[in-house]
Amino acid sequence: MTLQTVRKYLPGGAGQLHYREIGKDHGGAPLVCLHQSPKSSLEFESFMQAAGRSQHVIAFDYPGCGMSDCPPSEHIVTIPYYANVIANALDSLQIEQADLFGNHTGAMVAASLADTHPDRVGAIAMISAPILTDEETRDFEDYFVPVPLDLEGTRFLQSWTRVVKHAGPGMTLGMLARSFMQNTMAGDAYEWGHAAAFAWGGSFAETLSRLEHPILVLNPADDLEIYTTRAEQLLRNGTYLARPDWGHGLLDTQTADLSKIILSFLKTDASKMKV
């Protein structure tokens, strides 16, 4: 039988903060999932249904993403801002400590949260941990410049083209459509998360290098693969796992194997984890 996530709201960020939850009756620290930009908690839906059979799992929509209210202006949106919103949400839910699972931008949010609230965070799992040079950051900033709306639908055509171009192995047309839909849900704020990630790029490397939490970095063959290889040498208490057979969409296409790896990591010391 397929488990269903429960969708809820709580006050936070710029207004109402939307989140998904499953497996609340399981003991132990919950696993908090942090999405990439400009997606939402929806990208963790399949993963939550698998992991939720034995683990309490929560996934939030950042302010301005998914079904959470949008901040009034872009300058508010930074990686530490996202991290602080999540910390406040944990307070509201009376969660003293949580494990974290961040995807792309979510890896940065996880690192920032662990750095500013070290006692609130247990273990950290990441899909991609891009360490970028200044030149590479500028290239990404140019690539993800917002596209104004027009009657020709240029913004939507460009988004769909990128979703199809970066499709990972096994992604179905339905999965691609869901990915595209999440991009459009953020409206004119759809690139705010990317901009926040690039602005925090230098701080990410510094933060990752000083974290003492158990960290698992999964590196699939996606557009951040070559940059994530640099993260391995920065880890103090970590495990680096390359998965060149995986790509974008792995939360849906590799759900069973991924949940097994993540749950094994949470239950075992990172340095002794076997996968």
- pLDDT tens digits for 220-231? 999 999 999 999
**pLDDT-based confidence at 22, cuts 50/70/90?**
very high
Separation of alpha carbons 104 and 138, rounded Å: 17
Specify the pairing of strand 57-60 against strand 15-22. Answer: antiparallel
In a domain, 145, yes or no: yes
pLDDT exceeds 80 at position 94:
yes
User: Residue 169 is which amino acid?
Assistant: P
User: b or e along 149-181 (b: 16 or more beta carbons within 10 Å of the residue's beta carbon)?
Assistant: eeeeeebeeebbebbeeebbeebeeebbebbbe
pLDDT exceeds 70 at position 269:
no
112: CATH: 3.40.50.1820
pLDDT exceeds 70 at position 50:
yes
pLDDT exceeds 80 at position 274:
no
In a domain, 1, yes or no: no
Q: In total, how many domains does the chain have?
A: 1
pLDDT score at 3: 78
The pTM of this model reads 0.96
| Mean pLDDT value across residues 245-265 | 98
Separation of alpha carbons 34 and 198, rounded Å: 17
Separation of alpha carbons 49 and 251, rounded Å: 11
Separation of alpha carbons 34 and 137, rounded Å: 22
In a domain, 209, yes or no: yes
From 5-19, 40-54, 234-248, 261-275, the region with the lowest mean pLDDT: 261-275
The residue segments making up the domain with residue 100 are: 6-272
Separation of alpha carbons 219 and 232, rounded Å: 10
Separation of alpha carbons 195 and 180, rounded Å: 19
Separation of alpha carbons 125 and 148, rounded Å: 35
User: Residue 7 is which amino acid?
Assistant: R
pLDDT exceeds 60 at position 270:
no
pLDDT score at 268: 82
| Mean pLDDT value across residues 95-100 | 97
pLDDT score at 72: 93
Separation of alpha carbons 14 and 199, rounded Å: 21
Separation of alpha carbons 120 and 11, rounded Å: 20
pLDDT tens for each residue of 144-166: 999 999 999 999 999 999 999 99
Angle at CA 71, nearest 5°, toward 66 and 72?
Answer: 135
Separation of alpha carbons 231 and 208, rounded Å: 8
Q: How far is CA 264 from CA 132, 151, 260, in A?
A: 29, 49, 6
Tell me the pLDDT of the chain averaged across its residues: 95
Separation of alpha carbons 255 and 199, rounded Å: 31
pLDDT score at 34: 98
In a domain, 131, yes or no: yes
pLDDT score at 275: 42
Q: Are 110 and 126 in contact (CB under 8 A)?
A: yes
Separation of alpha carbons 126 and 111, rounded Å: 9
Cis peptide before 38 (omega within 30 of 0): yes
pLDDT score at 1: 60
pLDDT tens for each residue of 98-128: 999 999 999 999 999 999 999 999 999 999 9
pLDDT exceeds 60 at position 190:
yes
Collect all residues with Cβ–Cβ distance below 8 Å to 72 and sequence separation of at least 6: 14
